[in-house]
């Protein structure tokens, strides 16, 4: 089974087991198609929405004052998987590759929402050398094979990566970014309920703490329980149940303004660490790096 996918702006070639990734011969042409239109600070935005009309034999196009939201980009690479058992297998490998490359890669057309980076490494906080990328693809394929009888698990992994990526879109208000990355963290918790042997309802205030303890990661201060609640669940509950963020109507207040804390950035960094651990990465220096720096780290597998 093979698919063409994109958008990745650099040559990429690797082979591991029955999986092969190669660069399509039209890479330079695909790069030229992107150009500068709709691009700002290495993000490309959905194009304006056009509506085609016909009137009295005349055809004209009207541009609406808002974007299409769902859009396409050129395919730049091909993924082959000799033992793929379904299209879901391929889709899962692309979600994992997206996480490790730090940009959305997809065989879907159209497959992008609102905006997406055109430079690698903008949607995660780590980088891998080629040898570690090969190991990362091995981990992803092994995870698929271990969980292919539970399709909801592999779908949740893709959902977590996608929610994490959505949370990084530069045009979002803080409460929107917060909600997307909280969705991603909750997906991570759903993925490790079985390994933690957790049954019944686990309060939101305990979930991040339990995940960090399971993988031996430091627990962020905002996820520590104080007086039977955490700062992050307090923000989440007010936003979900009362439509308030930082005690103001949604969009009119920024949590942490005037301080050095960026809670959504820290949540995104923690989500990256959890997703790598969920795929099966063993005890790793990356897991113990601070989440409050905004720095990129080397991930060695």
List the pLDDT tens digit at each of the 301 positions of the chain: 899 999 999 999 999 989 999 999 999 999 999 988 899 999 999 999 888 877 767 777 888 888 889 999 999 999 999 988 889 999 999 999 999 999 999 999 999 999 999 999 999 999 999 999 999 999 999 999 999 888 888 899 999 999 999 999 999 999 999 999 999 999 999 999 877 777 778 999 999 999 999 999 999 999 999 999 999 999 999 999 999 999 999 999 999 999 999 999 999 999 999 999 999 998 889 999 999 999 999 999 9
pLDDT at 59: 77
Task: Give the global pTM.
Answer: 0.94
36 backbone φψ class: left, alpha, beta (φ>0; ψ -120 to 50): alpha
- Cα distances from 195 to residues 5, 188, 192, 199, 281, in angstroms, run 33, 12, 5, 11, 15
Kindly report the CA angle at 121 between 119 and 126, in degrees rounded to 5?
A: 170
DSSP string for residues in 108-163: SSS-EESEEESSTTSSSSEE--HHHHHHHHHHHHHHHHHHTT-HHHHHHHHHHHHH
DSSP reduced 3-state for 83: coil
Query: Are 77 and 4 in contact, with CB atoms under 8 Å apart?
Result: yes
Report the relative pairing of strands 48-55 and 43-45 from DSSP bridges: unpaired
Query: Are 204 and 233 in contact, with CB atoms under 8 Å apart?
Result: yes
Burial class (CB in 10 A: 0-12, 13-18, 19+), 275: buried
pLDDT at 62: 82
Residue 127 β-bridge partners: 298
Of the CA atoms within 13 Å of residue 113, those in its CB half-sphere come to: 9
Phi, psi of 170 (to 5 degrees): -70, -20
Phi, psi of 123 (to 5 degrees): -115, 5
pLDDT at 298: 95
Helices marked H in 148-301: 151-167, 174-196, 204-215, 231-242, 263-278
Q: What is the DSSP letter of 226?
A: B
Q: How far apart, in whole angstroms, are the C-alpha atoms of residue 123 and residue 101?
A: 8
Beta-carbon contacts of residue 270 (< 8 Å; ≥ 6 apart):
185, 208, 212, 217, 220, 291
């Amino acid at each position: 089974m093979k698919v063409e996918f994109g958008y990745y702006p650099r040559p990429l070639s690797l082979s591991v087991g029955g999986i092969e990734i190669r660069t399509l011969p039209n890479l330079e042409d695909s790069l030229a198609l992107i150009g500068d239109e709709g691009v700002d600070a290495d993000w490309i935005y959905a194009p304006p929405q056009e509506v085609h009309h016909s009137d009295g034999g005349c055809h004209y196009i009207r541009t609406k004052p808002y974007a299409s939201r769902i859009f396409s980009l050129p395919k730049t690479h091909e993924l082959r998987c000799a033992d793929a058992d379904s299209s879901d297998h391929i889709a899962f490998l692309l979600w994992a590759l997206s996480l490790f490359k730090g940009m959305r890669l997809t065989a879907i057309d159209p497959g992008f929402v609102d905006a997406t980076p055109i430079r690698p490494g903008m949607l995660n906080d780590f980088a891998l050398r080629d040898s570690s990328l090969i190991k990362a693809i091995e981990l992803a394929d092994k995870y698929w094979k271990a969980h292919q009888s539970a399709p909801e698990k592999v779908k949740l992994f893709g959902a977590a990566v996608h929610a994490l990526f959505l949370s990084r879109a530069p045009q979002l208000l803080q409460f929107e970014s917060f909600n997307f990355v909280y969705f991603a963290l909750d997906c991570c918790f759903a993925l490790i309920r079985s390994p933690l042997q957790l049954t019944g309802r686990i309060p939101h205030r305990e979930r991040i703490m339990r995940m960090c303890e399971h993988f031996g990661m430091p627990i962020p201060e905002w996820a520590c329980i104080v007086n039977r609640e955490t700062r992050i669940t307090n923000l989440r509950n007010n936003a979900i149940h009362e439509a308030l963020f930082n005690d103001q109507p949604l969009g009119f207040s920024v949590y942490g303004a005037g301080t050095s804390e960026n809670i959504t950035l820290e949540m995104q960094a923690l989500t990256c660490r959890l997703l790598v651990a969920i795929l099966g990465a063993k005890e790793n220096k990356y897991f113990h790096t601070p989440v409050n720096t905004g720095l990129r780290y080397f991930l060695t597998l």
